[in-house]
Amino acid sequence: MTPMVKADQVCKNFGALKVLKGISLEIGRGQVLCLVGPSGSGKSTFLRCINHLEQVNAGRLYVDGELVGYSERGGKLYELHPRAAARQRRDIGMVFQHFNLFPHRTALENIIEAPTQVKRLNKKKAVERGRELLAQVGLSEKADAYPAQLSGGQQQRVAIARALAMDPKLMLFDEPTSALDPELVGEVLTVMKDLAAGGMTMVVVTHEMGFAREVADQLVFMDAGVVVESGEPRELLANPQHDRTKAFLSKLL
C-alpha cells in the first residue's frame, strides 16, 4: 500500500546553513508519527516541506503517492506553478504553534472561510459543516465568539476545526500546545487523540511525551537535521539506543 507520506533523502538549506541533511521516513495511512528533538533540529522545517511551504534543495517528498511541489520529467524536478502547489496543499491540513485566526471573524466565520473561498462550497453547507466541526472539538457554544473572547486552548481547537473544514487526507501539527498555559494543553490533546482514533493520518511535532507514548504509531527523534533514532514509541522512550536520544529524553521524562 502506498504510504501517506514518503520522504526520500530530503535536504533543506537556508543559505549556508544545512537544516535537513537527508531525511528518509514513511508514514502509513491512518498512522500518527511524532517528531521530537531539541530546538533547531529541523522538525518544523521538515513539516513545512511536506506541504511545500518550504522548498526542498534535494531529495523527494510524496504525499499519497504524489510528488509534492514538483513535477518530474526525464529525471529532473521542475517546480509546480504556485496555483498547482496550492491545489496540492488543500489536501493537507496544518495547525501551527500560534493559532493565526482572523481576529475580526467569529469562530464559525474562521472555519467556513477556506471552504467557501477556495472550494466554492455553498455557504449554507459550509455553515452546517462548520457547526459540526465546532461540536467535534467541543465548542458548539462558541460559534459567534471572536478569537479575543476565547482562551488559547479554545483558539487552537478552532484552528484544528478550520483545518478539518477542508477535509484533508493528512494533518500536520507544529507544536500545537507549546504556546498554551499548562492547564489548557489537555483539551487540545484530547481533540488530537480523537482525530487519531478516527483514522486521521497525522505528523505531530511535539514535546508532549505522554501523547506520543499513548497515541503515536512511530516516534522519530531528530537532531542537527538528521533522524537519530526512530521506533515504536513505548519501546524508544523506555529503551533508547543512541546516547544523544538518551540525553534528550533524560531532560524530559
Q: What is the spatial distance between Cα 244 and Cα 248, in angstroms, rounded to a whole number?
A: 6
pLDDT at 7: 97
Strands 5-14, 17-27: pairing kind:
antiparallel
**Predicted confidence (pLDDT) at residue 119 exceeds the cutoff of 90:** no
CB 213 within 8 A of CB 233: yes
CB 66 within 8 A of CB 72: no
Mean pLDDT value across residues 102-113? 96
Beta partners for residue 204, in sequence order: 34, 173
pLDDT at 110: 97
Mean pLDDT value across residues 47-67? 94
Instruction: Assign 153 to helix, strand or coil.
Output: helix
pLDDT tens digits, one per residue of 129-168: 999 999 999 999 999 999 999 999 999 999 999 999 999 9
CB 218 within 8 A of CB 232: yes
pLDDT tier for residue 3 given thresholds of 50, 70 and 90: very high
List the alpha helices (DSSP H) in the chain: 43-50, 82-89, 107-117, 123-136, 152-164, 182-197, 209-215, 233-238, 243-250
Distances, alpha carbon 243 to alpha carbons 224, 235, 250, in Å:
14, 15, 10
Mean pLDDT of the chain: 94
**Predicted confidence (pLDDT) at residue 251 exceeds the cutoff of 90:** no
Q: What is the spatial distance between Cα 79 and Cα 46, in angstroms, rounded to a whole number?
A: 18
Q: What is the spatial distance between Cα 239 and Cα 118, in angstroms, rounded to a whole number?
A: 46
pLDDT at 252: 79
Per the listing, cell 538528521 goes with 226
Residues in Cβ contact with 21 at an 8 Å cutoff, skipping those fewer than 6 apart: 11, 42, 224, 225, 226
Mean pLDDT value across residues 158-179? 95
Model's pTM, two decimal places? 0.94
pLDDT tier for residue 48 given thresholds of 50, 70 and 90: very high
pLDDT tens digits, one per residue of 185-234: 999 999 999 999 999 999 999 999 999 999 999 999 999 999 999 999 99
pLDDT at 225: 96
Task: Enter the C-alpha cell of residue 49.
Answer: 516541506
- 75-79, 94-98, 124-128, 196-200 — which is least confidently predicted? 75-79
